[in-house]
Amino acid sequence: MLDIKFIRENKDIVAQGAKKKHVKIDIDALIVLDDKRRDLTASIEKKRAEQNVVSDKIQKATPADRATMIEEMKVVKESLGKEEESLKEIMKEWHTLMLQVPQVPDMSVPEGDSDAQNLEIKTWGEKPNFSFEPKDHLELMTTLKMVDFERGAKTHGFRGYFLTGEGARLTFAIWNYALDFFSKRGFVPMIPPVVVRKQHLYGTAHLPGDVEDFYQTQDGEVLAGTAEVPIMAYHSDEVLEASQFPIKYLGFSPCFRREAGSHGKDVKGLIRVHEFYKMEQVILSEASHEMSVKLHDELNRNTEEFIESLGIPYHTVINCGGDLGLGQVKKYDIELWVPKENTYREISSASYFHDFQTRRFNIRYRDTEGKLRYAHSLNCTAIPTPRILVSLVENYQQADGSIKIPEALQKYFGKSVIGGQQ
C-alpha cells in the first residue's frame, strides 16, 4: 500500500505508474474521497474536544447553567454520531480504493502489456544437441516410473499426479541440496503454516486481484500459494531492530493454486499443477532504494547460481509493466530451457516492493535517528518442485531413455543415472 501523503503529493507519478502496469484506478477520485475523509475526521476531532471541554465545565457549573450545557451537548452529540457513521462509510470506500492503487514501477521496467513483452537480459548454458529424437518429461518419467499421472487424476482430479520411486527420491535430493545451497548464503530455514488468514493475502497484495486462484477453507482461511505470505505475516505489527537487517528467510512449504485463469494451458505434465512444493527466499531490509536494488540482484543471482550448478540452460528476463503485480517495483523471471518444447519456461521470480507490503503488515524499525520507518521487503523463488524436474529430465535424457543426474545432486541422490546402466 502506498502512503496517501505520497499519493497526494505525486498523483501524476502514481497515475503514470498505474498506466504502465495497465491498472485502472482513478487517482483524482481517491483524492476527492480523501479530502472528505480528512475534513470529516477534523470535524469529529473538534466536536470530541468540545465535548471534553464542556464535560469539565458541567462539573463546575451551577444547576441552571449545567442544564443548558447538557442540552447544547445533546445537539453536538447527535451531530457527532452522524459524522462518525458517515466516516465509517467513507473509510470503507477509501480503504477499497487504497488497496487498488499499484506500486510505482522502477524507471528501468520496460513498457508492455503481457509477458510476451518481457525483455531478455541474460542467457546461460549450451542447449543440448541430441543425436536422437528427444522425449518430453511425461514420456521419460512415466516410462521410468518416476510419476503416475493416471492414478494422480483418479485420486486428485484434473492436474493430479503422484511422484513415485526415483521421481520422489530425486525431489528429496533437490530439496536437500537447495537447503544446503541457500543456507550457505545466510538464509534461515523456515517451515511456515500455509493455512493463513485471508488478510495476509491482502498484505502481500495477492488479493484482491487473484481471488479466483486460491483455495479457501470452510472457516474462511486461505491455502497460500507461496511461503512468502506466511513469512511476511511472521513479523506483522512488530518493530524490528535495524541491526538485524537484512533479515533472510528460506521458506519451505506446500503451495496451492487453483490455476483458475489457466484453462486450456499446460493441461498435461508437471508445468502447471494445483499443488506443489517451493523454497522461497524472503528478505526484510532497511528502507533504502539502493539497498533494495542490491538485494534484488543478489536474490535473483542466488537462484541463477543454483540453476548453473545443475547445468541447466536458462535465460533471465526483466518483466514489463503489464506483467508486474500490484505491489512490485521490479521483477526478474528466470526461465529454464525445455528441449521438447523448444522454449524457455519460468522457474523463478524475483521481486522487490519497497514498503508496499510492510505498510499493510505494519512491519517497522527505528532508523539511526530513532524515527519509526517501514521496512522494505523482497522475495525470490529458490526452487519449485516438481516443475524443476521438467527441464532437468529433458536436458539430461540419453538415447536409451535413461536420465543422467547432475553432479551437484549425485551425493544427495546416491547415484549418477536413472534407468539404463547404473
pLDDT at 263: 60
Q: Which of 283, 282, 301, 280 is nearest to 245 (CA)?
A: 283
pLDDT at 104: 97
Whether residue 141 is predicted with pLDDT greater than 80 in this model: the reply is yes
pLDDT at 420: 75
Whether residue 110 is predicted with pLDDT greater than 90 in this model: the reply is yes
CA atoms within 13 A on the CB side of 28: 0
Report how far residue 284's alpha carbon sits from residue 127's, in angstroms, rounded to the nearest whole number: 36
Strands 222-223 and 147-148: unpaired
φ, ψ for residue 293, nearest 5 deg: -60, -45
pLDDT at 351: 98
Q: In the structure grid, which three cell numbers stand for residue 207, read together?
A: 488479493
Per-residue pLDDT tens over the stretch 28-48 = 999 999 999 999 999 988 888
Per-residue pLDDT tens over the stretch 408-420 = 999 999 999 999 7
pLDDT at 154: 96
pLDDT at 143: 97
Per-residue pLDDT tens over the stretch 278-318 = 999 999 999 999 999 999 999 999 999 999 999 999 999 99
Q: Measured between alpha carbons, how far apart are the two ends of the chain, in Å? A: 55
pLDDT at 262: 60
Percent with pLDDT over 70 in the chain: 96
Per-residue pLDDT averaged across 367-374, rounded? 92
Per-residue pLDDT averaged across 135-160, rounded? 95
Percent with pLDDT over 90 in the chain: 82
- Which residues pair with residue 378 across a beta bridge? 283, 352
pLDDT band at 108, cuts 50/70/90?
very high
pTM for this one? Answer: 0.91
Report how far residue 272's alpha carbon sits from residue 263's, in angstroms, rounded to the nearest whole number: 11
pLDDT at 208: 85
- Which positions are annotated as active-site residues? 257, 272, 346, 349, 387
pLDDT at 21: 96
Whether residue 261 is predicted with pLDDT greater than 80 in this model: the reply is no
Per-residue pLDDT averaged across 378-403, rounded? 97
pLDDT at 65: 75
φ, ψ for residue 333, nearest 5 deg: -115, 135
Q: How far, in whole angstroms, is CA 305 from its chain's centroid?
A: 22
Q: Which domains does the chain have, with CATH numbers?
A: 4-100 (1.10.287.40), 115-418 (3.30.930.10)
Q: Is 356 exposed, middle or buried (0-12, 13-18, 19+ CB in 10 A)?
A: buried
Report how far residue 123's alpha carbon sits from residue 323's, in angstroms, rounded to the nearest whole number: 20
Q: Which of 280, 281, 262 is nearest to 272 (CA)?
A: 262
pLDDT band at 60, cuts 50/70/90?
low
Whether residue 56 is predicted with pLDDT greater than 80 in this model: the reply is no
Chain mean pLDDT for the chain: 93
Whether residue 381 is predicted with pLDDT greater than 80 in this model: the reply is yes
Per-residue pLDDT tens over the stretch 180-230 = 999 999 999 999 999 999 999 999 999 887 778 899 999 999 999 999 999
Whether residue 148 is predicted with pLDDT greater than 90 in this model: the reply is yes
pLDDT band at 63, cuts 50/70/90?
confident
Q: Sheet harboring 330-338: ordered strands across? A: 119-124, 314-318, 330-338, 343-352, 376-385, 275-285, 247-256, 188-190
Q: In the structure grid, which three cell numbers stand for residue 81, read together?
A: 454520531
> Could you tell me the maximum CA-CA distance found in the chain, to the nearest angstrom?
106
Whether residue 53 is predicted with pLDDT greater than 80 in this model: the reply is no
Whether residue 352 is predicted with pLDDT greater than 70 in this model: the reply is yes
Report how far residue 90's alpha carbon sits from residue 82's, in angstroms, rounded to the nearest whole number: 12
Report how far residue 220's alpha carbon sits from residue 227's, in angstroms, rounded to the nearest whole number: 19
406 preceded by a cis bond (ω within 30 of 0): no
Per-residue pLDDT averaged across 263-291, rounded? 90
Q: How far, in whole angstroms, is CA 229 from its chain's centroid?
A: 7
DSSP secondary structure letter of residue 209: T
Q: Provide the strand spans (E) within 25-126.
A: 119-124
Q: Any idea which residue has 441552571 for its cell?
A: 64
Q: Which of 286, 414, 280, 283 is nearest to 352 (CA)?
A: 283
- Report whether 346 contacts 334 (CB < 8 A): yes
pLDDT band at 55, cuts 50/70/90?
confident
Strands 314-318 and 330-338: antiparallel
Whether residue 260 is predicted with pLDDT greater than 70 in this model: the reply is no
- Report whether 37 contacts 94 (CB < 8 A): yes
pLDDT at 266: 64
φ, ψ for residue 403, nearest 5 deg: -130, 125
To the nearest 10°, the Cα dihedral for 54, 59, 60, 62?
Answer: 100
Higher pLDDT, 213 or 345: 345
